[in-house]
């Protein structure tokens, strides 16, 4: 039988039909920092099980205890081992070394890179050009046995960590190679009130997304703001 446009067989998948990720454990490498701590807080507040990672387990335990909400702390290796989704929130300087050292622990995991390779000079922030194209592509190159996605670049750690703010009014661009993995990350972003995860292409497009943070920093400086982004008409 020939299928028609209205038959279920030919109906395109609803792009907002996202998986239930509520049972997945989220680890945050570098979770003692501003961005990691902010994401850990927002995800844990939304009901996600979160493990903060650090180079030193005691720093992770302290950060986790401060957050409460069932957040646990561990060294980065244990954090990676125990998590289903691992967000990379370390500075660009430590990115390659951190991931290389955790290759075994990150094998088979969904790794979500939010690292923005930036430089600063007297003109302000500017995007660096990683040899691999972007931080996310560097992660993919260093972690051949992991599933790498990129997301959470355009968030303000100040707003994420501000407990007086209930909703984070921004979209998150999610990039990756496998639709199923991208949708998991979109769903994770969508757990945070006010936030949407929007598919924004393959990892080869990650440089633009990472680089755009330099522009947002210029916006923030001029307008004394914590700017985010909205993708309109989706
Ligand atoms: N801040 C933001 O608003 C924001 C927004 C979007 C994306 N990001 C990205 O998120 C990442 C983290 O930003 P952040 O502001 O949270 O940075 P951060 O506070 O400077 O660093 C985060 C954590 O990374 C660990 N770390 C520091 N140097 C390291 C190194 N050389 N190797 C491995 N780990 C190291 C530290 O944890 P331990 O000492 O406990 O290991 C630190 O607490 C950056 O790549 C940034 O581009 C930040």
- Which pLDDT belongs to residue 31? 98
Which of ligand 1's atoms lies nearest the C-alpha of 116?
47
The CATH number given to 25-223 is 3.40.50.720
- In this prediction the pTM is 0.96
- Which pLDDT belongs to residue 2? 43
What is the rounded distance in angstroms from the CA atom of residue 224 to the CA atom of residue 164? Answer: 19
How many CB atoms sit inside 10 A of residue 76's CB?
A: 28
- Which pLDDT belongs to residue 8? 61
The alpha carbon of 35 and the centre of ligand 1 are apart by a number of angstroms equal to 7
- Which pLDDT belongs to residue 11? 85
**Which protein residue has the closest C-alpha to ligand 1 atom 38?**
54
The alpha carbon of 128 and the centre of ligand 1 are apart by a number of angstroms equal to 16
**Which protein residue has the closest C-alpha to ligand 1 atom 22?**
33
Which of ligand 1's atoms lies nearest the C-alpha of 32?
43
What tens-digit pLDDT sequence spans the chain (234 residues)? 444 445 566 788 999 999 999 999 999 999 999 999 999 999 999 999 999 999 999 999 999 999 999 999 999 999 999 999 999 999 999 999 999 999 999 999 999 999 999 999 999 999 999 999 999 999 999 999 999 999 999 999 999 999 999 999 999 999 999 999 999 999 999 999 999 999 999 999 999 999 999 999 999 999 999 999 999 999
Contact criterion met (CB below 8 Å) for 73 and 62: yes
**Which protein residue has the closest C-alpha to ligand 1 atom 46?**
115
How is 26-76 classified by DSSP, letter by letter?
EEEETTTSHHHHHHHHHHHHTT-EEEEEESSHHHHHHHHHHH-TT-EEEEH
CB-ligand 1 contact for 170 (6 Å cutoff): no
CB-ligand 1 contact for 157 (6 Å cutoff): yes
Phi-psi region of 15 (alpha: psi -120 to 50; beta: other; left: phi over 0): alpha
What is the rounded distance in angstroms from the CA atom of residue 232 to the CA atom of residue 224? Answer: 24
Which of ligand 1's atoms lies nearest the C-alpha of 156?
3
The residues spanned by each domain of the chain are 25-223
What is the rounded distance in angstroms from the CA atom of residue 171 to the CA atom of residue 149? Answer: 16
- Which pLDDT belongs to residue 10? 77
The alpha carbon of 8 and the centre of ligand 1 are apart by a number of angstroms equal to 46
- Which pLDDT belongs to residue 103? 98
What is the rounded distance in angstroms from the CA atom of residue 65 to the CA atom of residue 214? Answer: 33
């Amino acid at each position: 039988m020939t299928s028609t446009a209205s038959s279920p067989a030919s109906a395109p998948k609803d792009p907002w039909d996202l998986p239930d990720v509520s049972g997945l454990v989220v680890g945050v490498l570098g979770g003692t920092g501003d961005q990691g701590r902010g994401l850990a807080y927002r995800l844990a507040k939304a009901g996600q099980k979160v493990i903060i990672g650090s180079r030193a387990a005691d720093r992770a335990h302290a950060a986790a205890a401060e957050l409460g909400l069932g957040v646990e702390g561990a060294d980065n290796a244990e954090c990676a081992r125990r998590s289903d989704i691992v967000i990379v929130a370390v500075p660009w300087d430590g990115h390659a070394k951190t991931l290389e050292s955790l290759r075994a622990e990150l094998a088979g995991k969904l790794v979500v890179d939010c690292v923005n390779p930036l430089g600063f000079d007297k003109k302000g922030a500017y995007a660096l050009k990683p040899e691999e194209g972007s931080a996310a592509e560097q992660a993919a190159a260093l972690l051949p046995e992991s599933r790498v996605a990129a997301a959470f670049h355009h968030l303000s750690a100040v707003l994420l960590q501000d407990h007086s703010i209930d909703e984070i009014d921004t979209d998150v661009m999610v990039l990756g190679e496998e639709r199923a993995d991208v949708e998991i990350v979109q769903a994770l972003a969508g757990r945070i009130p006010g936030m949407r995860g929007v598919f924004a292409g393959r990892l080869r497009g990650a440089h633009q997304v990472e680089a755009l943070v330099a522009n947002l920093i210029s916006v923030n400086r001029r307008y004394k703001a914590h700017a985010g982004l909205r993708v309109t008409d989706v």
